[in-house]
Amino acid sequence: MIFEEMIKTECTDERYEAWEKYRDSLTDFILDGIEHYYRKKKIKSMGVRRLSAEIGLESLLSEQKNKPTVAIWGAGGGNDIDLPRLAKYFHLVLIDHNLEQLQNTCERFGLTEQQCSCVDLQFWHISIADYKRIEAMLVEGSSDEIIIRTINEIIMRMPLYEYAKLPKYDFSICVGLASQLNARLAMLFTLHGRGTEFSDYLPELNDIAVNKLADFIYNITKNTVMFGYEVTTLKNTEAMLADLLTYEPEEWEQKKEWPPHSLISDISGNDILSEWICENIKEGNITADSFETLVWPFAAQKHFIMLFCYFSIIKNC
């Protein structure tokens, strides 16, 4: 079956060393964003205009009763974020559909149960058995209508959560997940020569999945969420990045429009996440705090411009 071979290509462990610079920069941004949150909180509580630069994250966290929880959505093999570095400061919650992979990730980086929890919240759950069933239907030549009906039935039986009964996380980190929720289905359709037939259905499916993901994160995150996603692929990364990102941060700080400086994603799923962000900023549910752009050397011949931003959760402020 094509599916069996396809999922073997999803492991990115061999890219761990190649992603070192990107991983360090992304982890820096995560730590800076969380430190910024606690600095603002302390400034407000003290009634001052600023804090000394010497007061860093470790000092700010020493005032907390418990280690803050940081949920990492779609954690997978943990190759794009320095998990041991984050575990020095926070209790990590790794969220993914593959619990076995998450456990292997913890063992690989020497993370204990006291440092890290592994969970599958099944907010968008299409099982391995489901994928194999859909592939069998593609092989048999089932009609588009029957396959779409089958997928819709899978979606209908996904659990409906009562957010009030779920654990709440202090911070959420969600990088590159919006574009992956239906990537397996898209690949199956393409590899079986049915990509064109399902080209109108996949955007509808992505709309449901990405909005469900973003709503889920919003409702169980207390303080801030950092979304990160691919904007576009690059060939000559350094030169093109310099051209694309000629902006003035001070100007954005005044307006905080989204997406910043017309960095509109051409990656399926990310366009929907950007729309969700725009709508929730407009409705006053979140505010954009700070953003960053990095080059992700995903593969030797395939690099992405990545856009990251911290958003404050207004309902909990």
How does pLDDT run across 8-67, given as a tens digit for each residue? 888 899 999 999 999 999 999 999 999 999 999 888 888 877 887 778 899 888 888 899
Mean pLDDT score, 206-233: 96
pLDDT tens profile 87-139: 999 999 999 999 999 999 999 999 999 999 999 998 999 999 999 999 999 99
Mean pLDDT score, 210-234: 95
Q: Which two tokens stand for residue 4?
A: 């069996």
Residue of 101, 105, 62 lying closest to 83 (CA atoms): 105
Q: pLDDT band at residue 247, thresholds of 50, 70 and 90?
A: low
Question: What backbone torsions phi and psi does residue 140 show, to the nearest 5 degrees?
Answer: -75, -10
Which stretch of DSSP H or E encloses residue 92?
Answer: strand 91-95
Tell me if 213 sits within 8 A of 227, measured CB to CB.
Answer: no
Note the pLDDT of residue 257.
Answer: 83
Mean pLDDT score, 167-186: 96
Percent of the chain scored above 70 by pLDDT? Answer: 94
Q: How far apart are CA 93 and CA 125, in angstroms?
A: 18
Q: Classify strands 69-73 and 91-95 as parallel, antiparallel or unpaired.
A: parallel
Q: Is the pLDDT of residue 317 over 50?
A: no
pLDDT tens profile 39-56: 998 888 888 778 877 788
Q: How far apart are CA 130 and CA 132, in angstroms?
A: 5
Q: Classify strands 169-175 and 69-73 as parallel, antiparallel or unpaired.
A: parallel
Mean pLDDT score, 218-231: 97
Note the pLDDT of residue 277.
Answer: 97
Tell me if 286 sits within 8 A of 280, measured CB to CB.
Answer: yes
Burial class (CB within 10 angstroms; exposed 0-12, middle 13-18, buried 19+) of 107:
exposed
Q: Is the pLDDT of residue 259 over 60?
A: yes
Residue of 71, 78, 73 lying closest to 19 (CA atoms): 78
pLDDT tens profile 127-159: 999 999 999 999 999 999 999 999 999 999 998
Mean pLDDT score, 235-258: 65
Residue of 251, 276, 263 lying closest to 174 (CA atoms): 276
Q: pTM for the whole thing? A: 0.93
pLDDT, averaged across the chain: 91
Per DSSP, helices labelled H in 163-269 are 183-191, 201-220, 237-244, 249-255
Cis status, amide bond into 249, omega within 30 of 0: no
Note the pLDDT of residue 228.
Answer: 97
Note the pLDDT of residue 28.
Answer: 97
